[in-house]
Amino acid sequence: MSLVLYNGRPEDETGRLEKEIRTYDLLDQLGIEYRRLDHEPAEGPEICAEIEESLGAKICKNLFLANRQRTKFYMLMIPEEKVFRSSDISKQAGSSRLHFAEPEYMEEMIGTTPGSASVMGLMNDKEHRVQLLVDEDVLNSEYIGCHPCINTSSLRIRKEDIFGKFLEYTGHNWITVHAE
């Protein structure tokens, strides 16, 4: 498969979902530069490795989590090679045992579905119900690879723009964690 890296939003938005277009609209409004790859759904290690290589950025796993009572929700940005250990991350987040939240909560709060979760989804969390957790290794990267709320495109964005302009706009802060 041959992947093409584009600057910015697609010229032709025909067939694109509204949530993807809203992501491009916000990035453009905030003056955030990004590179984009369009691809088949990013499922499986082979396609993800090819996307990362073509994108020139590591794509994070974005895990949507909840506490046992489903009263607190979290998005964990973690490098692909690291493992989510509930007890370790729960302790660092100051929460009771975290587990994967049901897809309906993900759709309701961040407007994405499993496989498409992304830090970009926080633009849809107007009530700030989701706490962002970021593995320290993600913060050591120059670029962040993420989906525009759909897993058939991937974006490369400067870390400073995500953890600066973007999160300032959404009003979300983050907790730095360490996963193994």
Query: What pLDDT is stored for residue 45 in this prediction?
Result: 65
* Cα–Cα distance measured from residue 76 to residue 58, given in angstroms and rounded to the nearest whole number: 15
Q: What tens digit of pLDDT does each residue of 44-83 get?
A: 667 777 888 899 888 888 999 999 999 999 999 998 889 9
Q: Is the pLDDT of residue 1 over 60?
A: no
pLDDT for residue 98 is more than 90: yes
128-175 pLDDT per residue, tens: 999 999 999 999 999 999 999 999 999 999 999 999 999 999 999 999
C-alpha to C-alpha distances, 100 to 14, 59, 126, 144, 158, nearest whole angstrom: 33, 19, 21, 23, 28
pLDDT above 90 coverage of the chain, percent = 79
110 pLDDT above the threshold of 90: yes
User: Which among 111, 114, 88, 112 is positioned nearest to 100, based on CA atoms?
Assistant: 114
Domain annotation for the chain: domains and CATH numbers: 5-177 (3.90.960.10)
In the numeric block, which tokens belong to residue 118? 């992304």
pTM of this structure: 0.93
What torsion, rounded to 10 degrees, do the Cα atoms 152, 165, 56, 122 define? -30
Model pLDDT, residue 3 = 84
Return the percentage of the chain with pLDDT > 70, whole number: 98
pLDDT single digits (tens) 19-46: 999 999 999 999 999 999 998 887 766 7
Element holding 35 (H helix, E strand): strand 34-38
